[in-house]
Amino acid sequence: MSGAGDCANLPPSAIIGPPQQGSHVKIFVISLRTAEIRRAEASEQMAKCGVAFEFFDAVEGSAGHSEWFAGIDHRLFQLNTRRYDPTPGEIGCYASHLTLWKWAISHDRPVVILEDDFQLEPGFVEVINNLEPLVREFGFIRLQSMHGPRALLKRLRPAAREVLRRNGLSVHYLSDPPLYALAYAISPGAARTLTRASSTLFAPVDKFLQHIWIHETPIYALSPALVTMSPQAEHSTIGGRRGKSINPYVLLGRTIYKGIGEFRRFGFDRKQFARMSDSRKVEGTNQRP
What pLDDT digit, counting tens, does each position of 48-71 carry? 989 999 999 999 988 889 899 999
Residue 9 scores a pLDDT above 60: no
Report phi then psi at 96, rounded to 5: -65, -50
- Angle, alpha carbons 201-109-177 (nearest 5°): 45
Residue 27 scores a pLDDT above 80: yes
Residue 118 scores a pLDDT above 50: yes
Determine the Cα–Cα distance for residues 102 and 80; give it in Å rounded to an integer: 25
- Angle, alpha carbons 280-284-289 (nearest 5°): 150
- What was the pLDDT predicted at 274? 82
Between 17 and 73, the higher pLDDT residue: 73
Residue 221 scores a pLDDT above 60: yes
Residue 234 scores a pLDDT above 90: no
Could you tell me what percent of the chain has a pLDDT over 70? 81
Residue 83 scores a pLDDT above 90: yes
Give the predicted TM-score (pTM) of the model. 0.85
* Nearest residue to 179 (alpha-carbon basis) of 209, 151, 223: 209
Residue 102 scores a pLDDT above 80: yes
**Chain-centroid distance, C-alpha 53:** 18
Q: How confident is the model at residue 12 (pLDDT cuts 50, 70, 90)?
A: very low
Determine the Cα–Cα distance for residues 18 and 56; give it in Å rounded to an integer: 30
Q: What is the mean pLDDT of residues 92-116?
A: 97
Give me the chain's average pLDDT, please.
Answer: 84
* Nearest residue to 90 (alpha-carbon basis) of 55, 61, 70: 61
